[in-house]
Amino acid sequence: MYYVYHIHTPEMGLAEGYVGVSNNPKARWAKHKSGTSDSSPRLIRAIKKHNPSFSILACFDTLEEALWQEYTLRPLERMGWNLSVGGGKPPTYSGEKHPCYGREVSEETRKKQSEARSGRFGGHKHPLSKPVNIYNAETHELVAENVVVKPWAKENGYHQAHLSATAAGTKRGHKGVYARYVEKETYRRDAKVSTEG
């Protein structure tokens, strides 16, 4: 049995935190927290700083199914506390190898990954690519209009996942700003007009 797990704080959604795969999640969580962890330095720092929780998201009979699920949750690099795209060989940061290291993904799984991504992760269909408006958290004044979170956050010194979480409503603010999806705002305005009319 293979498990897809999520390391996160209570306010984090699935786009944040760390998603991984293991055939022994209890031992893997203990290893992540240990002084001899083979986790990325980014995850080690996050665990020390936030004291996060560990949750099982799903279990599968085969490694390929679990890796496919991981890929759908981590289709991009540097998403949450993950450094690499899910569904493949994890990087190693110590002498020990991850239990899944070296496993090749079959052609069937690659096809599933491709089909899952096709039309879903392109353009504004991906949740991290939807246009947002950015507001000042204190004054609620518009800071940037109709921008995509990833490039705007990178150009202005913000963390992409934290800013996306404010747009999704799982976080109140990030470094003095917050984001709102443009489509949702338009929908709310239209709904308000129709109820008033």
Q: What is the pLDDT of residue 90?
A: 61
pTM, two decimals, is: 0.51
Mean pLDDT for all residues in the chain: 80
Rounded distance between C-alpha atoms, residue 178 and residue 56, angstroms = 30
Residues paired with residue 178 on neighbouring β-strands, in sequence order: 135
> All domains of the chain, ordered by start, with CATH?
2-117 (no CATH), 125-196 (1.10.10.10)
Q: What percent of the chain has pLDDT over 90?
A: 36
Q: What is the pLDDT of residue 116?
A: 64
Rounded distance between C-alpha atoms, residue 85 and residue 73, angstroms = 9
Q: What is the pLDDT of residue 37?
A: 80
Other beta carbons less than 10 A from residue 109's beta carbon: 19
Instruction: Answer yes or no: are the C-beta atoms of 110 and 151 closer than 8 Å.
Output: no
pLDDT single digits (tens) 15-45 = 899 999 999 999 999 999 987 888 888 899 9
Instruction: Answer yes or no: are the C-beta atoms of 180 and 164 closer than 8 Å.
Output: no
Other beta carbons less than 10 A from residue 41's beta carbon: 10
Give residue 105's pLDDT band: very low, low, confident or very high (50, 70, 90).
low
- For 65, the 3-state DSSP assignment is helix
Other beta carbons less than 10 A from residue 10's beta carbon: 6
pLDDT single digits (tens) 175-188 = 999 999 886 544 44
